[in-house]
Amino acid sequence: MVKITVSDGCSGCGTCVSNCPSSVYEIKNGKSVPVRVEDCILCRTCESQCPEGAIQVIEVEIEPARVEPPKVVETKKKPGKKTKKKTSPKTARSKKKSSH
């Protein structure tokens, strides 16, 4: 994410407008305004070319969203039903081999 600040020192010369490869800036009321910040590619040409040093481009890291793990709901077994424990074929074979 990008944050762009333009200080009061901006003279509205338009250097940032003419040099920005992503067309982020427009001149409004005699000052530079970053109107398409989401299009900024962080090349910082605007910072380096501004004769007043009025532009600051800051890369802001976004924290990943915190996601709560799903809640586990225990289900109760119905009374009266017995379930047999299943064994895999591999387990059954290994038991036969060990009895020899």
Report the predicted TM-score, pTM, of the whole model to 2 decimal places: 0.60
| 75 located within any domain | no
Report the CATH number at residue 13. 3.30.70.20
Per-residue pLDDT of the chain (100 residues; tens, 9 = 90+): 899 999 999 999 999 999 999 999 999 999 999 999 999 999 999 999 999 999 999 998 877 778 888 888 777 766 665 655 656 555 555 555 555 5
Neighbour count for residue 58 (Cβ, 10 Å): 10
Token couple for 83? 């379930």
**Structural domain for 17, as ranges:** 2-59
How do 31-34 and 25-28 pair as beta strands? antiparallel
| 64 located within any domain | no
| 37 located within any domain | yes
Looking at the structure of the chain, the number of domains it has is 1
> Residue 63, SS3?
coil
